[in-house]
Amino acid sequence: MFHWLEKNPFFFSVGVFVVIAFAGLIEILPNFAEASRPVLGLKPYTVLELAGKEVYKKDHCIACHSQLIRPFKSETDRYGMYSLSGEYAYDRPFLWGSKRTGPDLHRVGNYRTTDWHENHMWDPTSVVPQSIMPAYKHHFTNIADIDTAYAEAFTVKTVFSTPYDVEGGVKLGTLDEAKAAALTEAKVIAADMKNQNVKDAVTRGEIPEIVALIAYMHRLK
């Protein structure tokens, strides 16, 4: 049989392809499936973090910032541990990006504070003198859309079985419960901010976009 295959290159090529394809199914695909599972300790986004993610998308932050650290020393030295596929298990859509006018943000929660983000969004050059990023002062007056963020969380819980409301995870509950939890989370962030208008808004039960965006930035780590 082997002599026959050697004399028929077409069938020999087909045989090689079948063997390699079978090996791929057995060895490669299970590894991909394992890598795509949530990393240990990963939790779904809170409703406030999702509201901040919506602000991030709405204002096209992805146009200048990536969220994908490649496994090269030049990148890990600057940004930290390279990104793992399992870290994006609850991202729909993922925001990897394809351009870096500004730095990668996948680990920004490890080294930037609430105070830094507040100053940076109000006046980028106050903390990064060479920055070409525009100011986003409207984030300090626009109110975050918590209702839509809750709808997104409810959808991914229902359609994609994202593990909300499980023991030790993120509680979603009803819309009113989610709003209360988001406000509690927002108060912690606002307490570290200087802008009095933001503080007053949170005291009134409103959550400015800047607070939601900072919550999302803190999540990236």
DSSP letter for each residue of 87-131: GGTT-SS----S--SS---TTGGGT--HHHHHHHHH-GGGT-TT-
Amino acid identity of 15?
G
Instruction: Answer yes or no: is pLDDT of 144 > 70.
Output: yes
The closest of 214, 170, 164, 209 to 188, measured between CA atoms, is 214
pLDDT of residue 147: 97
For residue 33, pLDDT over 80 is answered with no
- What is 47-219's CATH number? 1.10.760.10
**Predicted TM-score of the model (pTM):** 0.85
Confidence of residue 70 (pLDDT cuts 50, 70, 90): very high
What mean pLDDT value characterizes the chain? 91
Whether the pLDDT of residue 103 is over 90: the answer is yes
| Residue entry with tokens 């990104």 | 83
pLDDT in tens, 42-69: 999 999 999 999 999 999 999 999 999 9
- Higher pLDDT: 14 or 205? It is 205
CA pair distance 190, 48, nearest whole angstrom: 13
Q: What's the pLDDT at 131?
A: 95
What pLDDT is attached to residue 29? 60
Q: How confident is the model at residue 110 (pLDDT cuts 50, 70, 90)?
A: very high
Q: What pLDDT does residue 30 have?
A: 60
Alpha carbon distance 70, 84 (integer Å):
9
If pLDDT is split at 50, 70 and 90, which confidence band does 18 have? confident
